Amino acid sequence: MFEFLSNHMRDENGKLDGTRGLLCGLGAGVAEAVVVVCPMETIKVKFIHDQCSTNPQYKGYFQGVREIIRQQGLRGTYQGLTATVLKQGSNQAIRFYVMTSLKNWYKGNHPNKDMNPLVTGAFGAIAGAASVFGNTPIDVIKTRMQGLEAHKYKNTANCAYQIMKHEGLRGFYKGTIPRLGRVCLDVALVFVIYEEVVKILNRVWQTQ
């Protein structure tokens, strides 16, 4: 999705600046949230909370998914969609903005300059760290909205209000440090693999 959008937003020299990279990342994140992330994250969070309860009701993955759909319908797998769209949209917007800006800085006036995978990995880790500090509050809200106690909240805005009321500002940043370590490594690996795959594809199927 990012490649599709960026191919339509490059300037006459084929360059993608940071702002356009941010918009392309936002579009990619929203599409990712609706098609893949929301149902998978909802199921994952429900399973985790169920296993931590005193009387778990899900005996396996498929049985658990069937039970969720039987009790709550298909909507049961799309809880917290607004929060997920906000989370994934801001996630990818921040990551692609930082990554695009760092790549443009590194390449300077030589847009065809090759990037060492180690440099790509370092830039990816920085992009990942930026996204963690930028959208952990949204991630906390999303997780609460998708859990087994999601019924306590009327909507995304009410969830944010309840967290602020009962836990204060610190409640929005729970799990930041563990998430920072995971996300930095995750995003670094994703961008290294992404860049190397694009290089291979450009050899056999030239893209713009």
CA distance 195 to 52: 39
**What digits encode the pLDDT tens for the residues 84-110?**
898 889 999 999 999 999 998 998 878
**What digits encode the pLDDT tens for the residues 144-195?**
877 767 778 888 888 889 899 888 888 888 888 888 889 999 999 999 998 8
Rg of the Cα atoms in the chain: 19
Domain layout of the chain by residue ranges: 1-79, 81-174
Nearest-10 crossing angle of helices 18-32, 81-107: 150
